[in-house]
Amino acid sequence: MRLRNMLARGPVFGAMLLAAVLGVTAANAQDSFSEKHIDAARQVVTATKALEPFDNILPVLAEQTRTLFIQSDPSRTAEISEVTTDVAIKLAARRSELNKLVYEVWARRFSEEELVQLAEFYTSPLGAKLAKEGPVIAALSIGAARQWQDKISTEMVALVREELDKRAAE
């Protein structure tokens, strides 16, 4: 079972994405959408693989829970591991709750017609390529921005130091 394997490996990844998704206000939580609107959102979310970043939430929470209990009672490590894994597997059935919240986030931001158009795009060859390459492009762009920032930072420090030295010599 995939979840059991992920739990056994003990991934170390924060669950902050869940907090962002669950940061829906009470007023927004009361929004109601037609079944067709939610289905259109589901199609886009599926095509864009927008749920994949959340796949590690439960394994991470299980690992954090396991660690917490083991720290307080190391003599029960095996039992704690077994119980934590069993509970996590039971809670996995509730993943659909998260999926529904994500569909509603998309439905809030896009009309049903816009979602239909997005689904058509993301199921096209170009859209599928964008969905696949998007995370890689974003990561590479962030890396490029950090490199540029480091370069500019070094240059700025040197230029400020040079100007301050010049003014001090006057």
Distance CA 50, CA 97 (A): 15
- For residue 82 the two structure tokens come to 């077994």
Q: How far apart are CA 123 and CA 6, in angstroms?
A: 29
8 Å CB contact between 54 and 96: no
15 and 83 belong to one structural domain: yes
* Residues 38 and 103: beta-carbon distance below 8 Å: yes
For 150, the token pair is: 């480091």
Q: Is residue 100 located within the same domain as residue 17? A: yes
Same domain, 98 and 141: no
Give the SS3 label for residue 31: coil
Res 15: pLDDT: 41
pLDDT in tens, the chain (170 residues): 454 444 444 433 334 334 444 444 434 555 799 999 999 999 999 999 999 999 999 999 999 999 999 999 999 999 999 999 999 999 999 999 999 999 999 999 999 999 999 999 999 999 999 999 999 999 999 999 999 999 999 999 999 999 999 999 99
How many other C-beta atoms lie within 10 A of the C-beta of residue 55?
Answer: 15
What pLDDT score does 31 carry?
75
Same domain, 78 and 134: no
Amino acid identity, position 53: P
Q: Are 33 and 104 in contact (CB under 8 A)?
A: yes
Whether 90 and 41 share a structural domain: yes
Distance CA 54, CA 40 (A): 20
- The gap from C-alpha 97 to its chain's centroid, in whole angstroms, comes to 16
- Residues 35, 76: Cα–Cα separation, whole Å: 47
- The domain of 21 spans 2-123
Note whether 170 and 90 are same-domain residues. Answer: no
The predicted structure's pLDDT at residue 30? 54
Q: Is residue 90 located within the same domain as residue 167?
A: no
